Amino acid sequence: MMDETSDEPPTSAVFLDNCHFSQVIFNNVEKFYVPGGDVTCYYTLTQNIIPRGKDWVGIFRVGWKTTREYYTFMWAPVPSDTHRDTSVQQQIQFKAYYLPKDDEYYQFCYVDQDGVVRGASVPFQFRAETEDDILVVTTQGEVEEIELQNKTLLQENEELKASCASLQKQNLGLQEELQKTQDLQNSLESLRSKTETLELELNSLRKENKHLKELDDCREAELSQLKEQIQTVTSEKDHLEARLKTTMDRMAQLQSLVLNYEKEVENLSQMVHDKTEQLEGLKKENQQLCMTGTHQQQNQDLMKELEEQKHLVQILQAKKNEADEENQKLKEENDELLRHLSQAENVSSFPDVSQAPIPVPEVGGLLFGNPYCAAGANLRAGAADIASLRKCPICNDVFPEDVETSQYEAHVQSHLLECPVCKETFENSDKQVFDDHIYCHSLE
d(CA 345, CA 340): 9
Which of 389, 365, 397, 392 is closest to 379 using CA atoms?
392
Rounded distance, CA 32 to CA 125, Å? 5
What is the mean predicted confidence (pLDDT) over 66-94? Answer: 89
In a domain, 328, yes or no: no
First-to-final CA distance of the chain: 131
Residue 177 within any structural domain of the chain: no
Q: Residue 269, Cβ neighbours under 10 Å: how many?
A: 21
Residue 52 maps to which CATH number? 2.60.40.2840
How many structural domains comprise the chain?
2
Within 8 A by CB and 6+ apart from 150, the residues are 122
Q: Which amino acid is at 369?
A: G
Q: Is residue 320 part of a domain?
A: no
Asked if residue 346 is part of any domain, the answer here is no
The DSSP symbol for 134 reads G
- In the three-class reduction of DSSP (H, G, I as helix; E, B as strand; rest coil), residue 34 is classed as coil
Q: Residue type at 153?
A: L
Residues 388-421: tens digit of each pLDDT: 456 788 888 887 877 788 888 888 888 888 888 8
The pLDDT of residue 106:
97
Residue 133: pLDDT over 60: no
- 224 pLDDT more than 80: yes
- Asked if residues 120 and 26 have their Cβ atoms less than 8 Å apart, the reply is yes
Rounded distance between C-alpha atoms, residue 41 and residue 76, angstroms: 11
pLDDT at 42: 97
Highest mean predicted confidence (pLDDT) among 196-200, 252-256, 264-268, 381-385: 196-200
Q: Where does a domain end: 75, 94, 129?
A: 129
109: left (phi over 0), alpha (psi -120 to 50) or beta: beta
Instruction: Report d(CA 387, CA 408) in Å as an integer.
Output: 8
Q: Residue 213: beta bridge partners?
A: none
Q: Write the CA distances from 376 to 327, 389, 428, integer angstroms.
A: 17, 18, 12
**pLDDT tens sequence across 23-70:** 999 999 999 999 999 999 999 999 889 899 999 999 999 999 999 999
Question: How would you list the strands of the sheet with 24-27, edge to edge?
Answer: 24-27, 39-45, 88-94
Tell me, yes or no, whether 82 lies in a domain: yes
What's the rounded Cα separation, in Å, for the pair 39 and 32?
11
Please report the pLDDT score of residue 86 as a whole number: 83
Residue 33 lies inside a defined structural domain of this protein? yes
- Residue 6 maps to a domain: yes
Q: Closest Cα partner for 398 from 385, 413, 388?
A: 388
Domain that holds residue 68: 1-129
Q: Is the pLDDT assigned to residue 354 strictly greater than 70?
A: no
User: What single-letter DSSP state applies at residue 38?
Assistant: -
Instruction: Give the end of a domain, one of 106, 129, 152.
Output: 129
**Does residue 129 surpass a pLDDT of 80?**
no
The chain-wide mean pLDDT, for the chain, equals: 80
Amino acid at 245: K
Residues in the chain: 444
**Rounded to two decimals, what is the model's pTM?**
0.33
Residue 34, domain member (yes or no): yes
Using left for φ > 0, alpha for ψ between -120 and 50, and beta otherwise, residue 137 falls in beta
User: Lowest-pLDDT range, 46-55, 183-192, 248-257, 388-397?
Assistant: 388-397
For the cut 90, the answer to whether the pLDDT of residue 124 exceeds it is yes
**Single-letter code of the amino acid located at 12:** S
- Among 102, 129, 156, the domain boundary falls at 129
